[in-house]
Amino acid sequence: MYDFPRLRPFGRLLLAAPLILVLPACSESLAPDNAEWTLTWSDEFDGAAGALPDPSNWVFDIGTDWGNQQLEWTTDRPENVSTDGNGNLVITAREESFNGQPYTSARITTKDRFEQRFGRFEARIKLPSGQGLWPAFWMLGADFDEVGWPQTGEIDIMEFRGQNPTELLGTVHGPGYSAGAAIGGAAEIPSRLDDDFHVYRVDWEEDRIVWYFDEQAYFVIEPDDLPGEWVFDDAFFMILNVAVGGTFVGSPNASTTFPQTMVVDYVRVYERN
């Protein structure tokens, strides 16, 4: 067993008083040696400036209100999601009227393109910030269409409330522990997360999910930690998005500036040898 730091679970909507672990929390990373892992999938976002993400890797979720009363319409326009010609993918939230919504953004997934059961899932990202912004790197079960949410399971590798620029969130949802009853951990980071790129990752194994920030473990979940069924035994697909508004972060206000960008250097997935 790893000698990892543990946090008691907190309800997702009770973050007015989160349980905080100030990093670094231990003297060494909990990561197994990299030689134990083999790359199975990646996107390095090497497209030309203004190009849409590789359609062999990503599909677009187009529409609005993905279950949280969000205010953005997610599109497949380069203005909202495209490579920058410098090895990055840029998801841009804009303040503009579009199909009845006051903001636009993008939400892309690997659904029906790539799914994996267990492994290391990581992305190097520079985050946006501001009241009402909600960027995320997360996963849903590949059986989502058959069993629905939350039975399919959800792993939030990185969630960030733009009004809290030093707080990082990692969360799981499943039957009996979803939405306001989700189980997760928070880390208070010494510097603002929108100031630079950082690596957000989970190592997901049969009986454990461990969350990392720049190689430092800050939260772990095992089956006995959950009040309901462990639904993390099947393949999952990945999602990148920037939401605007909604029940979790509230609406933008006069202090929120637009456009706001989430810049993704890479997404990589590994399996244990």
| Active-site hit among 72, 115, 122, 159 | 159
Helical H segments across 84-175, by residue range: 144-147
pLDDT of residue 13: 29
| Active-site hit among 154, 167, 222, 229 | 154
CA distance 189 to 30: 18
Report CA-CA distances (Å) from 50 to 30, 79, 195, 204. Answer: 38, 8, 23, 34
At a CB cut-off of 8 Å and minimum separation 6, what does 10 contact?
Answer: 18, 19, 183, 184, 185, 186
CA distance 114 to 182: 26
pLDDT of residue 9: 41
Give the DSSP H or E segment for 155.
strand 154-159
pLDDT tens, N- to C-terminus, the chain (273 residues): 223 333 334 333 223 333 344 333 333 344 456 679 999 999 999 999 999 999 999 999 999 988 889 999 999 999 999 999 999 999 999 999 999 999 999 999 999 999 999 999 999 999 999 999 999 999 999 999 999 999 999 999 999 999 999 999 999 999 999 999 999 999 999 999 999 999 999 999 999 999 999 999 999 999 999 999 999 999 999 999 999 999 999 999 999 999 999 999 999 999 999
100: amino acid identity, one letter: G
pLDDT of residue 19: 36
The answer to whether 214 touches 198, Cβ cutoff 8 Å, is yes
Residue 115 annotated to the active site: no
pLDDT tens for 200-221 read 999 999 999 999 999 999 999 9
The answer to whether 17 touches 191, Cβ cutoff 8 Å, is no
Helical H segments across 118-196, by residue range: 144-147
pLDDT of residue 34: 67
Quickly count: other Cβ atoms within 10 Å of residue 246's Cβ.
18
At a CB cut-off of 8 Å and minimum separation 6, what does 89 contact?
Answer: 43, 45, 53, 81, 82, 83, 240, 263, 264
**CATH class of the 12-26+36-272 domain in this structure:** mainly beta
Residue 159 annotated to the active site: yes
CA distance 104 to 87: 23
User: How many residues appear in the chain?
Assistant: 273
Domains of the chain: which residue ranges? 12-26+36-272
pLDDT of residue 10: 38
